Amino acid sequence: MQTPASMVMGIVFAPLGLVLVFMAAITPQWREGQTQLVGVAGAEPRLLLRTDGLWESCLQVAHSELKQCWPVEGAYQSDPQVRLAQGLVLSSLFLCGAGIVLASVGVRCWTDLPLRSVAAAGGLLVALSGLLSLTALGVYTHNLGILGMEQTPPHRPHHRLPQLTLHPAGSLYFGWVGGCVQVVGGMALLLSFKIRPRCPSCTSCCSLLKNKQDTEVYDVSY
């Protein structure tokens, strides 16, 4: 039996969304900002680029290869919104992985009869993972300019910078796309629970039974 198009769509979109959300989670470009660093008299000011992710922050001198990254710390690390986003993203990755496993078992492309309830359960997990990803991204984006701004870590003075104008960076866009793809893939798998294409063998059996019922029987007496 041919696999329903909705199942194929779901089993393709779910891993794609997982990869995009994972890339967004591990890269330190959720927000970025730049500022001018004024040096000693006679020296040209340098443009510093600051980027923050969920687990790593980076500082780079513009137009050079000077770059330093370190694990998030201090007020940014302990910010409740950042910790909430971290937990939601990790939960999303776990649910999406479990949903893909269930969907793969349910689709069963190597057999004639897929396990639609199992595939739908996998789709539900994938859709929920997408909603968790989008929630984490929404929380982070809404509070982007104030995350970790209450105080500056005193034990790392060379990371203290003048006031930055922060704005969303590339990893956020990867995450938004990945979360939407997860939701679409999960909904496609859920939709396949209602779509039940006819089995060719069952269709032929039904047609034979119908023809048998329509056949007239004559009683011939000698």
- Domains of the chain with CATH codes: 5-148+170-196 (1.20.140.150)
Query: What global pTM score does this model have?
Result: 0.77
pLDDT of residue 18 exceeding 70, the answer is yes
User: Which residues share a beta bridge with 50?
Assistant: 33, 59
pLDDT (tens digit per residue) in 167-212: 889 999 999 999 999 999 999 999 876 655 555 444 444 444 445 4
pLDDT of residue 38 exceeding 60, the answer is yes
pLDDT (tens digit per residue) in 71-117: 988 888 889 999 999 999 999 999 999 999 999 888 875 566 777 88
pLDDT (tens digit per residue) in 124-168: 999 999 999 999 999 999 998 888 775 444 444 444 445 667 888
pLDDT confidence bin for 217, thresholds 50/70/90: very low
Q: Tell me the pLDDT of the chain averaged across its residues.
A: 80
